[in-house]
Amino acid sequence: MSIKESLLADIEGVLGGAIAPNLTAASQGADLYEAYIWSLVLQAAQSEGATISFWNVFDSPVNTDFVFRTSPGNIFSTAHPYSHAVISFQNCPALEAHVGVFVAGKSGVAHECDVAVLYSDEAYTCRQRSVHPRSTQVLLAVECKFYVQSSMGIGLARSFLGLTTEIMQQARFFVGVSESERVETLFAHHKKKWETGVSPIDRKQRYLRLKHDFEHVFRDFVRKQT
């Protein structure tokens, strides 16, 4: 099984047999990779006791087709029935997990989050008012890099470091399918959250380590509500 087929299989596994993604093994690798990391986020939430449901931008349940964004977009866009996951923990505010949405940083400038988990109340308000979610309402964010035939340059790491001051400092992750010693060294020095070599076919199973990190975010979220 190719890496793209493996990514798709994990995405389909999270969605379940009744719901099909708009992605296929022929889709762009970057689109599949973002959806795959999104699926790891959902698995982490479930491990911490969450229930997951799937909804679209019209606030209707997804019953058959899950539409992922394949380019950065507005959370309120109705160009297609873009879909997201609702994450529900008992006695906690509901959360939503999105792929490829813009978030307003501290400066007010919008920045793309490849994967973002935010408060559902905030997401609903943004859909109603056609505005970007505020960075203060984002619980977890991930920047995903799918470089399989070329290495990740140090410029990607520097860009990410700059964005952490705009969006969030704590639960903002940099994740790559390939490794880069320079990128990893820079993140380690600055004590950022990162994981490289992440894929379903990784022999070191680093996706499990990343999933555990996501679990810690949800664990702390639940504890703060009690």
Q: What share of the chain is helix, strand, coil (3-state, %, to 5)?
A: 40, 25, 35
The pLDDT of residue 166 is 64
Amino acid at 19: I
The pLDDT of residue 161 is 64
Q: Is 226 exposed, middle or buried (0-12, 13-18, 19+ CB in 10 A)?
A: exposed
The pLDDT of residue 106 is 84
Q: How many residues does the chain have?
A: 226
Residues in the chain where the model's pLDDT stays below 70: 149-157, 161-163, 165-169
The pLDDT of residue 148 is 80
Q: What pTM does this model have?
A: 0.93
The pLDDT of residue 147 is 80
The pLDDT of residue 145 is 93
Query: To the nearest whole percent, how much of the chain has pLDDT over 90?
Result: 76
The pLDDT of residue 150 is 61
Distance CA 42, CA 86 (A): 9
